[in-house]
Structure 1
Amino acid sequence: MWNEQVFRQVESMSAELEERGSKFWKSIVDVLPEVAANCQWKINEENISFWFSHWMLNDPLCNQVTNINQPGLRIRDVCLESGWDIERLHELVGEDVAGNIMQKLHACKPGQDILI
């Protein structure tokens, strides 16, 4: 969660850094989109965005599904104690994407979600 906040703060500072930041900071800001695009969440406590966090292999789910009904949905909202709420998962993303999700994440482990 803190990693998402850091990226948001740096993005908001980028305009200011463009005007008066050092060359060093400007170069860091320039590569942040590439860094963010190559990061992925390791799911543990399921507290990240189901739609917008980068936890699937390729893209966030918002880029794979056309109709997002519940933008505030967290991964934990689609899980049961025994694993995924398969029926709800199928309703949200369809059968093909649901199959990909179930292959990616079988069960969560204790601990915080980590951006890697």
Structure 2
Amino acid sequence: MAESTDKIHGTEQAWENRELGADEQYVRVSTSVNDKSLDEAAGLHPISIRLQKSLIEDLKMIAEINGIGYQPLIRQVLTRFADAEKKKILQEKYHELHGENGQPCKPDDDQSAYG
């Protein structure tokens, strides 16, 4: 007997709008997955960092307002900062090499770009 691959009409939308799959009576904590394997799968590495208590409280408040934990918020903040710094460094290096008008600098134009 061939297996039916027909979808139930409207099922995809029911999953999307949480009519299906959101009932807590069917939820349980997985016993086959641990924190270490989740961290590895997400590419996360635990660190220890010392921050001022007031900064931690501010971050927790901001995280709560945004509906996330404070550690994911800190990851977002650090990621945004690192991305912005890398972009700034690359732009500075580009302008050192190509000048303000985007054209390659000649040694006579700007000696600092070459050394």
Answer whether TM exceeds 0.5 for this pair.
no
Larger Rg computed on CA atoms = 2
Query: TM-score band, normalised by the shorter chain?
Result: under 0.3
TM-score, with length taken from structure 2: 0.24
User: Which structure carries more relative contact order (alpha carbon 8 Å, separation 6+)?
Assistant: 1
